[in-house]
Structure 1
Amino acid sequence: MKRRTSVVDRLVVLAVGGSLLAVGALAVTWRLGLDAARNLVSRLDRARIASIPDQPWWPTALGATCALAFVAGVTLLLLNLRRGRTSTVQLGGELCGADLSVDLGPMAVGLASELSAFDGVRTVRATAVDDRGLPTLRVTVVGEPTLDLEDFTRNAEALAQSMAAALPGAAVATQVLLHLDPVDQSA
C-alpha cells in the first residue's frame, strides 16, 4: 500500500468516525435528558426539516449524493485493491563505477525457493511489492503444524540478511510471513 493511499484511508476513517461519534454523543445526551442536547434540538424547525423530501431539488440532491458516494467508494476500493508491485531498485556504483538496476521479482522467487527447501514447508509464494514507499521482498510460507519455529526463524533471518548483503546500499525490506496448517484433530 502506498503512503498516499494509507493517508486517504485514515482521513476517511477519521471523518466518518468523528461524525458517528458526534451523532452518538448527541443521542446519548438526549437519552440522558441533558439540557444541552434538548436545547440544540429545540432550535431546529421541525416542520421545515419534515418538508425537505417534498422539495423539488430533493431527488436531484439525493441522486447526486448517491452517485458521489458510489464513485468515492469505488475509488477507495480500487486504490486499496491495486497491487503495489515494485519496479527495479537502483544500486550505487561503488563496486563497478556504474549504476545498476535490479529487478526484485526474481530475488523474491529465489528467496522463496531457498525457504521451500526447509523441512515442514508445504507451499511458498513470493512477490516483490512496494509497501508504503519501501521496496519489499514478501514471501508467504505455509508450513506443517510440526514445523520447528525456532529453526525456521533463524534460517529465515539468515536468508533475509543475505538478501540485504546482495543489494548493497539499497533500502529493500524482506518479509517472511509464516502460516501454519491447523493440527489434525481426528488422531
Structure 2
Amino acid sequence: MKALLAVCWTLAAALPAARAANDPAASRQAFGEAARVLQSPRCLNCHTVTDFPRQGDDRHPHAQMIKRGPAGMGHPSLMCLACHQAANSADGAVPGAPNWHLAPLSMGWEGLSAGQMCRKLLDRNQNGNRGVPELVAHMTTDPLVQWAWHPGGKRETPPLSQRDFHDAVRRWADAGAYCPK
C-alpha cells in the first residue's frame, strides 16, 4: 500500500510539470514578459534593421558614423572591437562585453510586435539555426546579452531584473515556446 501511495504522490506531483510542458497561455504570457526586455533599448540598439547600430536610451544613430560592415562587426577600417572592449571602460562611457557586435539583419526587431518578434526568434532560417534550448542559452548566458544589466554610464537597464528575465525566458520555453498572437 505504501508503494502505491508513493507512486500516486509522484504522479500527482508530476502533473503540474507535465501541464507546464504544453501550456500555450502560460508560454505566451511568459514571452510577453520577456519581450519587455527584448523591446528595450539595451536589445534594440543592436537588433536593428538599419545599416548602423543605435546607441543610448533614445536609440540615436551611433556616433562616428559607424556602419554595420560585412559581418555585423563594423567596417574593416573601424571594427566594433576597436572601441568596445571585453568590459565597460572605467568611466562607463564606452560599453563593452566579449564579442561586441550587431545582431544579424535577419534578427532585427525594430517595429515588431511581441508576437512577430517571437516568430522571428523561432525561425531557424533567420536565427542562426538555433532551436529553443539554444535560444534560451543565448538569452540567459551569453555575456553580450547579460551586459544589458550592467551597461555602465548613465544607461538604463532593462525593465525586468536579470533574474526575472531569465525566469520568463525559461518559463516560455518550458511551457512550449508559444508566441503571442
TM-score > 0.5 by shorter chain: no
TM-score category by the smaller chain? under 0.3
Relative to its length, the structure with more strand (as a share) is 1
Q: TM-score, normalised by structure 2?
A: 0.24
Relative to its length, the structure with more helix (as a share) is 1
Structure with more contact order per residue of length (Cα contacts < 8 Å, sep ≥ 6): 2
Question: Which of the pair has more CA radius of gyration?
Answer: 1
